Structure formats: structure tokens, C-alpha cells
Amino acid sequence: MDKKRNFRRILHYVKPYWFSVLMNIVFNILAIVFSLFSFSMIVPFLNLLFNPDNLTTVRPEFALDTDTLLAMLDYYVSYIIILKGQETALVFICLLLVIAFFLRNITTYFALYFMVGARAGTIKDIRNDLYKKIMILPLSFYSKHKKGDIMARITTDVQEIEVSIISYLDVFIKSPLTIAAYFAYMLGVSWRLTLFVVLLLPIGGLIIGWIGKSLKKDSLDGQNRFAGMLATIEETIGGLRIIKAFNAIGYSSEKFNEQNGRYTRVIKFVNRKRDLSSPMSEFLSSIIIAIVIWFGATLILDAAKNPEAVSSITAANFIAYIVVFSQIISPAKSFSQGFYSLQKGMASADRIFEVLDAEEVIVEKQDALPLPDFKDSIVYNNVSFHYNEVNVLKNIDLTIPKGKMIALVGESGGGKSTLVDLLPRFYDVSQGRITIDGVDVRDFKICDVRGLMGIVSQESILFNDTVFNNIAFGLEHATREAVIEAAKIANAHDFIMEMEDGYDTYIGDRGMNLSGGQRQRISIARAVLKNPPILILDEATSSLDTESERLVQEALAKVMTNRTSIVIAHRLSTIQNADEILVLVKGQIVERGKHEELIEKGGVYKRLTDLQSFNS
């Protein structure tokens, strides 16, 4: 994956907040100007302290360079000394220093103030795009990735980008500006000394770059291990009943402890290597400062021996030079820390963009047709589907007239759910086509196709919200009267009213506060409220007890009246009145007809019916 490209993509998320970034740059520049001014005041202070009789009485010509700036300061301080005396000049210098430092700090605050908006907005947009992407990715994507891993990417990986990259945006802007401005000042004071510094700095840069490169690799390993650990937690919570039933608490704990230990070892190594950046850069800086002091002192000594030398530097200017150069350590250290964090954060960026770049597969045509209503029939025309080179469906031909009930039966793994999932385009056919009213479903707008359908699955998908909001899910303007009417049709109204807060009762994560039959009836009420012309029932009663099944069957009978229905049935007694029953074996239709016809044939359907009668 292209690292530079991913970094540019992160910066692309910053682009909408260009004004905040621009204001950050403006205030950073002002802060740098006030910093340089405050450090420049050292020169006239030292001259006043050590050379009180060497005053500047001729005003220098204006020019934008360091020498002129220092000369102007000397001139104005000398002017005050001549008029008011040395004590007044000293008070003037101190007052200027206080004002300069105040302006430096207030502009630094405003630079950070504007950057906060850009940082928060950037992370918000990345997280929004990720959430939108995980909703439109095909179901096949989630068969390859664990839910815990996806959760880690949208939470901890995004957080890592904020901490490691976005939080350092100000540093990446301010540090180079500060270093450039300080170098310009230093160059004006002594080009020979500054050239010597420039030749020394790349040595430290090479060492920092080498450590940063290895840090990224270790960080990626750490993020992957954390994602695996989060996936284990998610699986543990979901399978807690089985873990306890099989006395596997010790086994699960040992597995998690091992994962946690590996992650801890990696993250300790990463953080220790990252923390090495600060003392290492500071140590390298101290060596460079010591060498610079030695070299500068030799220039001063040479100037004392040879006053006519062009490259001479005064003691006061040299002290100011060292002070300014020492101030480069802080932005340089921040920049090196930012470089380390950037490498660490890019590991998370790679994981995030892997999701954002995942192929959507189910793509809507640009000129997709609207589908306001279902008028005639659904046709499967020589439909085949394969997944990972495994044939799931083969040469399916099926016509579902409007208002008819079609039932799909067969052994598990026969392709029943896949056949149904092709209709709302959860998957697309590999061969053949599916049409609604004679038009290929791939030619319609996806939301319009799915808008015609209500789905009740074996596993009731409910949300940690109120009963009302679960029934009205996806319908923004559903009224309480309509929700209650839907619940009555689904045989759910009575038990809902017995709950503590009625329709305003929170049902817990995945409806855990309800029984299986109650959850299923709320799912049916949701489908009723949507009032779809096509109803898909995927083994909606297979996991229920007898009484719950009876209530759900009564509800389904009401819902399916005068409605096109596709029913996947495990219990064959529930579909005896279907207009047509299809028997699927290994992805192929091996029998079809009404209940009585299939019984008379004495084939697969008759065998399945006899087995269920025997087991009951």
C-alpha cells in the first residue's frame, strides 16, 4: 500500500478546514516573530551591560535582515540612554521583553485554538466515512473479517490517527516555520557558524529516520494484535452461554491471556522505542550545541586577533546566537517526536484505508431506474451463484407471480438463503439474471428494490432501543397509532403493554430482555409497519417453542394475506398451503409443486415430511 498516498489522503480530510489551518499558520508566524524579537533584545541588553559607553548614535537604513534589526534596537536603546539614562533604558528593555513574550504566548494559543477545530473535524469525517463504508460493503466482506477487527479499525485505529498524526499537524506546520525563521536569524548573525550547524544536523536526522522506519512496522503488528484481541472479546460475550456450558472458562481465559501478553510485549516495545526519540534528539542536540560553542568561540578569538576579519562575530551577538540556536532544540525535538508518531499512526491509516478501499461489489448504475411499485412478477432466469469458486446455486429458473406464496425447503447448506439474498442484492448473481416486472434488478436503484421488501429472519435483529423505535426502524414519520396497529397484527401488542413502560420500554442489546417469540413478533411488526409488497421469511419460526410458534404463525398468516411471500421453511407443516414449494438440494431445484403433488411423488419432499413426522 502506498504510504505517501495514504498520508496525502489524510491531508485531504483536513482540506475542508483550510481556514482553520490558514489561521494556525498566520498565528504561528506571529508567534515566531515575537519570539525572535524577544531573543533579539538580549543583544542591546548585553551591550548596555558590558559596553555602556559604546552607543549607536547614527540611525541605520531600513532593511529586512538580522544585522539591521539588531542595529535598530541598539540605536533606540542608545537614544533612550542618552535622553533618560541607563536605568530607564533597562526598564524599557524589560518592558519590551514582557510585551513580546505576552504576544508570543497569546498568538501561540490562538494557533492551537484554530487547529483544534481542524483536528476534531478531520477525525469526525474519517469516522463518518468508515461507518458509511461498513454499511454499504457486501456481506461477503464480513465473512473474511471478524467483527472485532472492524470495530478496532473504526475506534482505536481512528483514535491512533488523531493522537499520532492529526494532533501533530500543528507541530508539522509550526516546527519547520520556527526552524526556518531561526536559521534565517542565525544566518544573518554568522553565515559561517550557521553553515557549520547545517552540516552537523543531517547526522541526527539519519539516526531518527532509521528508528522511525522500524517503529511503523512494530506499530502495525501491535494494531493487528489488538484487533485480534478485540475480536476475541466480542466472540466471548456472544458465546458466553456455550463457554460456561462446556466449562471452557479456563481455556478461554488462557487464550485471551496469551493474546493480551503478546499485545502487551509489542506495545511496550513500540512505546519504549517512541519514547527514545526525546532523549536521543536532546542528547544529539547537546552534542551539536557543544560543537557549535567551540566553533563560535574560535571565531570570536580569531576576530580578537584579527579585527579586520569579515566573518567576525561579537560576544553579545554570539550569546544571542547560542540562545536562538538552543531554541531550535524544542521544535526539532517536537518534529522528531511527530515523525515517530507519524510512522506509528500510518500503521493505523493503512488499516483504515484497507476498509475504505474495499471493493463494494454491489454497485448501483449511474442511470439506475426508479422502482416505485411491484406490479406483475419476480423471475429467476437461469440463475447461478458461486462464492470463492464454490457453486452455491446452479441454473435456477423460478417465477413468482404477484400475490403468491413460494416456499423453499431442503437440507441445510442447500442454497435456500442465498437464493433469497440475491433478490434484495445482498449478493449479485454470477450468471443469469433476476427480474422484477421484466427488468433486471441490477438496473434499478438499490434502495428502491430493497424498499419493496420486508424481511423476517430466523435470528431477530433488534437494537438496544425502545420497542417503539425497533418497530418503527427506518421509518422517520411513523405514528404511534400505526406502530400499535402493526403490533396488534403481529400478536405483539398484549405483551408489550404488560412491559414496564409499554412501547417506550428499552429491550436491551439485541432484545435480550425479551423471549425468542417476543423478539420475533416485534420483527414481524416491523415488517408489517413497512407494509412491503414482497415479504421474505427466512425460517422465521424454526427456533421457537410450540406456543410461540403458534402466535407467530397466526401473525404471519395475517401479514401474508394478499402479499407476495417467499418463505424458507424448516418446519414443513407451516408451508402446506403455499402456492408452490421448491425443494433445493446442493444448489439445484430437484422438486417443485404443491404440497399434495410432492407427497404423491414420494421423493425428497416426502422423505423430509416423514422424518419430521417421525421426530415429532
pLDDT tens for 293-310 read: 787 777 777 766 665 554
Q: Is the pLDDT of residue 65 over 70?
A: no
Q: Is the pLDDT of residue 231 over 90?
A: no
Beta strand extents in 87-233 (DSSP E only): none
Q: Is the pLDDT of residue 1 over 60?
A: no
Q: Who wins on pLDDT, 144 or 450?
A: 450
Highest mean pLDDT among 68-72, 231-235, 252-256, 359-363: 252-256
**157-171 average pLDDT score:** 79
Q: Which helix (H) or strand (E) element contains residue 385?
A: strand 377-387
3-state helix, strand, coil in the chain (%, to 5): 65, 10, 20
% residues pLDDT > 70 (the chain): 82
Please, which residues have CB within 8 angstroms of residue 265's CB and are 6 or more apart in sequence? none
Amino acid occupying residue 79 = Y
Instruction: Point out the least confidently predicted range of 144-148, 180-184, 465-469.
Output: 144-148
Q: Who wins on pLDDT, 262 or 47?
A: 262
Instruction: Point out the least confidently predicted range of 220-234, 345-359, 437-451, 545-559.
Output: 545-559
Q: Who wins on pLDDT, 438 or 223?
A: 438
Q: Is the pLDDT of residue 215 over 60?
A: no
What pLDDT sits at residue 309?
53
What pLDDT sits at residue 2?
63
What pLDDT sits at residue 248?
74
Q: Coil, strand, or helix at residue 378?
A: strand
Band of residue 66 on the pLDDT scale cut at 50, 70, 90: low
Q: Is the pLDDT of residue 410 over 80?
A: yes
Q: Which long-range contacts (CB under 8 A, 24 or more apart) does 97-104 make?
A: 97/38, 97/41, 100/34, 100/35, 100/37, 100/38, 100/41, 101/34, 101/38, 103/30, 103/34, 104/31, 104/34, 104/35, 104/38
**What secondary structure does DSSP assign to 557-574, as a single string?**
HHHHTTSEEEEE-SSGGG
Alpha carbons 267 and 273: distance in angstroms, whole number: 10
Q: Would you put residue 403 in left (φ > 0), alpha (ψ -120 to 50) or beta?
A: left
Q: Is the pLDDT of residue 153 over 70?
A: yes
Band of residue 241 on the pLDDT scale cut at 50, 70, 90: low
Q: Name the average pLDDT for the chain.
A: 79
Neighbours of 421 (CB within 10 A): 17
Q: Is the pLDDT of residue 209 over 60?
A: no
% residues pLDDT > 90 (the chain): 7
Phi, psi dihedral angles at 498 (to 5 degrees): -80, -10
**Are 158 and 355 within 8 A, CB to CB?**
no
Alpha carbons 160 and 234: distance in angstroms, whole number: 21
Q: What is the largest CA-CA distance in the chain?
A: 124
576-597: per-residue pLDDT in tens? 888 899 999 888 989 899 888 8
Neighbours of 222 (CB within 10 A): 24
Q: 401 has which bridge partners?
A: 377
- CA 517, 521, 526, 528 dihedral sign is positive
What pLDDT sits at residue 380?
93
What pLDDT sits at residue 433?
92
What pLDDT sits at residue 511?
76
What pLDDT sits at residue 8?
84
Q: Is the pLDDT of residue 486 over 70?
A: yes
Q: Is the pLDDT of residue 216 over 80?
A: no
Q: Is the pLDDT of residue 406 over 60?
A: yes
**86-108 average pLDDT score:** 83
Using alpha carbons, select from 212, 170, 150, 499 the residue that is nearest to residue 345. 212
**327-356 average pLDDT score:** 76
